Amino acid sequence: MKNTLNHNLVIIYIAVSLFAIFFLFYQVIQDDYNLSISKRLSTNKNFSLPSVVQEFNQKQYKVYVKDLPYKIDPEYKKSVDEAVSYWEQKENVDFVYTDEEENADLIIYWAKDFSVGHVGYAYENLIEIGLGDSYCYNDWRPYSYEYVTQNMKHEFGHFLGYEHSQDENDIMYFQSKQEYDYTLNESDVLPSGYYQYYGVCTLYENTKLSIIVSSDKNIDVLIVPSYEDYELMIDGKKYDSYEKCSSSDINNYSLICNVSDESGIVIINKSKDNVNFSIEVSEEY
C-alpha cells in the first residue's frame, strides 16, 4: 500500500513538473511572439486592422475583353485598364482579367458603330462600348481615346450599380457629347478650275477646328460661314468668308479657326493641271 502511494506521488510530481516546464516554455514563446508583432506594427506604418478587414471583404470580378473590330487601333483596349484602375481606387473591388469568357463576371464588347442614339450601355454582366459613328458625311469616324475611356468608366459604374447623376462633373452624368479623333481625313484629285466643298460637321453651335491641307500644286483654301456663301462665290456674287482663316496660292495650309456649325471649307484649283491634295480636319475640344 505504501509503495503504491509513493508511486502515485512520483507520477503526480512528474506531471506537475512537466506542466510547469510547458507553462514556462509557453510564456517565453508568447512573449517573443508579442514582441515580434509589436516590432512589425511599429515598423510597418501601412499595416492597419481596417485595411485587413477591407481586403477580406473586397469583391472580385473576372473580366473578359472581346477582340476589337477589324482595323481598329489596339490602343482603345487600354480604356478598359483605365476604367478598372478608376473604380478599384474608388470602390472596394478587384477586377481580374480572364481568358475564359464562360467564367467571366463581366464581358466587354465593342461596337464600331451603334447607329442608334447611344454610345455605350451596360446590361447585367456585359458592357458594350461604341468606337465611332457615321454622323458626318456618312463616313465612319473614330471617337477620341479620351471619349471612349470616359464612356468605359461610365458603363463600369452602371455595372457596379451606380445610377445616372445630374452633376456634369460626375463620371455618371446622364449625357455626353461625342468627341472624335478627327472630323475629316481624306485625299482626292481636283481637276483644273474645280472647287471642292466640305461642310463643317460638329455637334456644337460654334467650334474650333484644326485644318491641315497639303497639295502637289498651289491651291486656294477658303473658309465660308455657310453653304449659301459657297454658292454665291461660284456664281461670282458677293459672299462672306473667314478672311483670317483663308489663304491663296499655297500648297501647305495649317491653321486653327473658330467657325460656326454651318460653315464650310472650300478647296479651289485655279491651275491648268489636276491637283492631288489631302485634307485633315479635327475639332479642338
Lowest mean pLDDT, pick from 11-25, 71-85, 139-153: 11-25
Rounded CA separation 216/250 (Å):
10
Which CATH code fits 55-159?
Answer: 3.40.390.10
243-267: average pLDDT = 95
Map out the domains of the chain as residue ranges: 55-159, 184-283
Q: What is the pTM of this model?
A: 0.69
Measured between alpha carbons, how far is residue 178 from residues 152, 204, 210, 216, 264 in Å?
13, 10, 17, 34, 20
276-282: average pLDDT = 95
Rounded CA separation 3/219 (Å):
127
Cα 105 to chain center, whole Å? 20
Of all helices (H) and strands (E), which one includes residue 37? Answer: helix 2-43
pLDDT at residue 183 tops 60: yes
pLDDT at residue 66 tops 60: yes
Per-residue pLDDT band for 16 (boundaries 50, 70, 90) equals: low
Cα radius of gyration (the chain): 35
Rounded CA separation 6/13 (Å):
10
Rounded CA separation 106/126 (Å):
5
DSSP β-bridge partners for residue 123: 126
Per-residue pLDDT band for 11 (boundaries 50, 70, 90) equals: low
Rounded CA separation 280/213 (Å):
7
Which CATH code fits 184-283?
Answer: 2.60.120.510
